[in-house]
Structure 1
């Protein structure tokens, strides 16, 4: 079995696969005492570990240490590439693209070659466009919902409000409404921009992943929700040999 790991600086997600079959999956904070405790039953069945990481070097070392307490299988980190099977990265220095963005695009490309957008609504929101030819047109990196909410609470201390998960974009009539509706309003603006760009770039399909994916759907983004898109791309890379 192969263990797939999607690692940020604080949170990790993992998926255990055997071919196309998902055997188990989970998530944890990297600083937990046993972030891979859910793998104990499968520890002896893991033959290799593939990691997509945007974490710091120190956190990558901590991740390897945590993995070594669960399995002796070899661990390989997979980074962004210049190209893979017709998908071409637009970055001149591909090392500067987050591996999760690249693996999300690879996952989409392996399923729907050409003419798509990948939206990852996580701690940060990333949007990437890929032309029908496989050329990465480019993308955007934006603060995610939690990041914006935290910024309002910490950097503008006089704005005290409790977050409300109800989605409303009407003008607010209290500080709480103004803040919560404003966050939804900004997300709606991103969705409208994606829809406009889709017409310009002949984007026929939007694939959506990340913890806040449902919020984008509720605000009207017409997308296919693929919670494991980064895992799909990471598995394709790990099994498909060397890219460029």
Structure 2
């Protein structure tokens, strides 16, 4: 992509999409899109009068993805390119026997992490789901974990129990809770932090760098005593790497 070209990049999740507009290597605009939010849709469609490329990472349902692609196609008369997990990209080697079945957000996050750091890595994406992936220094994906995120955990608890109910608000924290609201939220926080801690402990004694992303990634990075860093745009950075290499 030359310095004059404009590329719209989207990281599409289950409930919303992060987007950013790049002119060359410079981010000139960014935002959050929700299909039911008219203002967020208008902001996305008004981000640039012209585009040279549209790149998408999506884990949304097929119907939602097709609807979004059609909207972008109408606005800019461009065919969006959808990233897919591959058997190998830029030295990152997929552990799945069917590589395309790996969530593309996990693949792109690992790809971006490898571009930023050398050595063995643990990539933690804390969103609707908490994903934890270990990548060897030579680029081999050693395997990973997919765990319900905080909202999914809380919803399951409230839907499937009769007496766990609360109306008050409570923050996520690691100390024992002193009300039902605190006990639920603190228990979920403990489960999320505990899962990452256990995964890192099971990864063995070989040193590794931890990279956190996603809406809950910064909280986890702050509360875990590991050599870690938070990178907000890790999936979009991976999309940039893959889009340029394709």
Aligned in 2, Cα 1:74/1:196: closer, same or farther, shift over 3 Å?
same
**Number of residues of Structure 1 aligned to a counterpart in Structure 2:** 239
- Shift, 1:164, TM fit: 1.1
Deviation of the 1:55 alpha carbon: 1.3
Residue segments in structure 2 that go unaligned for 5+ positions in a row: 1-5
- For 2:213, the equivalent position in structure 1 comes to 209
2:193 pairs with one of 175, 188, 194: 188
TM-superposed deviation, 1:203: 4.3
Alpha-carbon shift at residue 201 of structure 1 (Å): 6.2
Provide the residue aligned with 2:181 in structure 1: 176
- 1:25-82: CA deviation from partner (whole Å, max 9, x where unpaired): 1112123336442244543231110011111211111111221343223311111000
Aligned to 1:14: 19
The normalised TM-score by structure 2 is 0.89
Cα deviation, residue 138, structure 1: 0.4
Q: Distance in 2 between matches of 1:108 and 1:16?
A: 21
Q: 8 Å contact 2:87–2:94 — kept in the other structure?
A: yes
Higher relative contact order (CA 8 A, sep 6+): 1
Q: Which runs of 5+ in 1 are unaligned?
A: none
User: Is the contact made by 1:126 and 1:139 (CA closer than 8 Å) also made in structure 2?
Assistant: yes
Aligned-pair Cα RMSD in Å: 1.9
2:170, 2:34 → 1: CA distance? 24
Instruction: Note the C-alpha offset of 1:134.
Output: 0.6
Alpha-carbon distance between aligned partners in 2 of 1:19 and 1:185, rounded to the nearest angstrom: 42
Give the TM-score normalised by the residue count of structure 1: 0.90
